[in-house]
Structure 1
Amino acid sequence: MKLTTHRVSAPLHTPFVTALRTATHVESLLVEISDGEHSGWGEAPQVWKVTGDSLAGSQACIEGPIATALDGLGPDDLTEALRRVQSAVVGNFGAKDAVDVALHDLAARRRGQTLHGFLGSTTDVVRTDVTLSVGDADALADAGKARVADGFDVLKIKVGTDAAGDIERVRRVRDAIGPGPRLRLDANQGWTRRDAVTVIRAIEDCDIELVEQPVAAADLEGMAWVTDRVNTPILADESVYGVRDLVAVIRHGAADLVNVKLAKCAGLATARTLLELAREHGLGAIVGCMMESHVGVGAAAALVSAYPTTAVNDLDAAWWLREAPVTGGIRYDGSLIHLPSAPGLGVTGLTV
């Protein structure tokens, strides 16, 4: 198998602002694994503020220890290849994710199957929410109305920069969009536990579906404290990378749901385990993404198709792109993501 990496920088049509960062481009490393006839694709996003992964680090990891670990394996050795990828290095979740997905994609293409079909699904459409970036109350209200007009009926408001102002911002969005669309909040670890309870209680009459990561990722006791004191479901995101993290959340009673992201858990293999573990222990789940292109989001959407979640998923990242950096793959129609009918992820090459 031949392994090749491609750095891409794709501009967004609108800046994406959270409590942690402001993004104007998707900066990613695309990975291509070829058997000489077929190519499988994966993506390692640059996520300095969450995983710490960088393009340079992921590229060095993939072209170095991961490539060495895969040396000598044939394209049909998927199980052994996935095991070697995960054991090749510590951390480097994005690099592992990219190679894991590319190996799955290649295996599906060699069998003439779509990736979601290879994972066991016959469903070719999944739903996503859309994020409203951090901004003042007027900007958020206008963005909320625009996104509803774009065909989205689940909106995620980025909060966590100013607890007092967050209450006004949420109320303004609800007033602007009316009672129909669902609202969920993402604080990106931005509140203290007491601020979280104060804000959530103050806006529960706005019919909030869930609140994501209200406090610092490591503060499971604090998140459990919040969960016990509000009626709105709490979603763990940055607190959960792998299986050990999810077990800790379950033991603490820290959250009602978990957000599974391929770039946090290092690929499809671990993601499936996390979704199954959450279900077995009565936790809800969604699948999310980083700021990724149609490659990474396509893999996450294929996972959702095969492993249905308990709430609408958070897979709008590629919708923010002015144009896709690849040909083929998923396409958006409002809140609907249409999965490709072509083999694998349906990606046929680069556009940049």
Structure 2
Amino acid sequence: MITQVLTHRVEAPLHTPFVTALRRTGTVRTLIVEVRDGDGHRGFGEGPQVLQVTGASVEGTEACVAQVMGPLLVGRDPDELTANCRAVRTAVAGNEAAKAALDIALHDLAAQRLGIPLVRLLGGTALRVPTDVTLSADEAADAAAARVADGFGVLKVKVGADPATDVARVRAVRQAAGPDVTIRVDANQAWTPRQAVGVIRALHDEGLNLELVEQPVPAWDLDGMAWVRDRVDLPILADESVFGVRDLVEVIRRGAADLVNVKLAKCGGLSAGRVLLRLAEEHGVGTMVGSMMESPVGVGAAASLVAACGTTLTSDLDAAWWLARSPVEGGIGYDGPVVVLPDAPGLGVTGIADNTVEV
């Protein structure tokens, strides 16, 4: 049976500051959740703090897990995965980061009890998953050249921090990266619909051969995003506009986007993520799986989902690549532009790293 649900508030430094139109950070601040059974197995999950996107704080996520969801799980059979995840999902409204942390931990624990990698529990076998890499809003040509030299073939350029210079920055990235590298841009809600149309048309007219534009307008403005989509030639990817199924249904109904970015910390974990990917596929909406600023726990779960379910786009799983050091022992690694899943039970995470300070 499940005997304990523990929480670890951790903070880990990045090797390079991460800058978007919404925020600037030099650290990952996140909650690692640990679910233990009576046989000595430990399942790990993660709920990252991304106040500007999800509104979830580490403290609030921890309170939800420790005071509400965790006590519901103690004493339950860890092999009853579907029922346990449903109990987490229905325990409270909102609190998707807390739900994601426990949902991932329950999946990790179930896979560990079977002695198989998480990807196999989800129905897949691949242990290598390609990823893009992000260029922060303060990076351009030099960073692009460095990432291409590292082997990355898909660059995600953060724009919107200064709309007046967005076209020049993307032009510089294309010149540095060369013609064969895929470039996508992410405005993180920074533009008005009219600004978005102006910038996107300018990017298209420059002949920069972009793959897509991610979340050009505020998350709530689905009509505005549909208006943009009707007036530009580049595909529009919804990110912050889609947390759960109802959001995706509205995006589809309004014709607001061509593609969707599924993130576990937005939707509430692997259970919900699988539903979103299937719904998008059934309605002809392209898919990718993304990550917040997370540790190998959250990124490993997201990469396992991609390996098992597949996506139409190269996914956005570089979050743990930015870490100067990992706050956990074990888990994923990076082989250039590829996330490498461990051939070990569950996520392959064995505990909190010795040099990690819990905050």
Q: TM-score range by the shorter chain?
A: over 0.9
Equivalent in the alignment of 2:147: 147
Percent of aligned pairs with the same amino acid = 62
Equivalent in the alignment of 1:82: 85
Amino acid at match of 2:249: V
Q: Structure 1 CA distance, aligned partners of 2:199 and 2:102?
A: 41
1:177 CA displacement = 1.3
Equivalent in the alignment of 1:124: 127
Equivalent in the alignment of 1:18: 20
2:5 is paired with a residue of what secondary structure?
Answer: strand
Q: Structure 2 CA distance, aligned partners of 1:316 and 1:62?
A: 27
1:180 CA displacement = 1.2
Equivalent in the alignment of 1:53: 56
Q: Structure 1 CA distance, aligned partners of 2:334 and 2:48?
A: 20
Q: Structure 1 CA distance, aligned partners of 2:248 and 2:145?
A: 36
Q: Does 1:343 align with 2:342?
A: no
Equivalent in the alignment of 1:273: 275
Amino acid at match of 2:294: E
Q: Does 1:69 align with 2:69?
A: no
Q: Structure 1 CA distance, aligned partners of 2:171 and 2:301?
A: 35
2:293 is paired with a residue of what secondary structure?
Answer: coil
Match of 2:97 among 91, 94, 97: 94
Question: Cα deviation per residue 1:224-261 (whole Å; 9 max; x = unaligned)?
Answer: 01111111110000000000000000000000000000
Q: Structure 2 CA distance, aligned partners of 1:229 and 1:290?
A: 30
The TM-score with structure 2 as length reference comes to 0.96
RMSD: 0.8
2:173 is paired with a residue of what secondary structure?
Answer: helix
Q: Structure 1 CA distance, aligned partners of 2:274 and 2:267?
A: 10
Amino acid at match of 1:58: T
Q: Within 5 Å, give how 1:249-288 maps onto structure 2.
A: 249-288=251-290
Q: Structure 1 CA distance, aligned partners of 2:74 and 2:334?
A: 37
2:140 is paired with a residue of what secondary structure?
Answer: helix
Q: Structure 2 CA distance, aligned partners of 1:336 and 1:72?
A: 39
Amino acid at match of 2:203: I
Equivalent in the alignment of 1:202: 202
Aligned positions, number: 349
Equivalent in the alignment of 2:113: 110
Contact 2:5 2:74 survives alignment (8 Å):
no
1:72 CA displacement = 3.0
1:206 is paired with a residue of what secondary structure?
Answer: coil
1:14 is paired with a residue of what secondary structure?
Answer: strand
Q: Structure 2 CA distance, aligned partners of 1:29 and 1:268?
A: 17
1:161 CA displacement = 1.9
Out of 251-260 and 224-233, give the one that drifted further.
224-233
1:150 CA displacement = 1.2
Amino acid at match of 1:184: R
1:161 is paired with a residue of what secondary structure?
Answer: coil
Q: Does 1:163 align with 2:166?
A: no
Question: Cα deviation per residue 1:8-47 (whole Å; 9 max; x = unaligned)?
Answer: 1100000000000001000011001010311100001001
Spell out structure 1 runs of 4+ moving beyond 6 A. none
1:151 CA displacement = 1.3
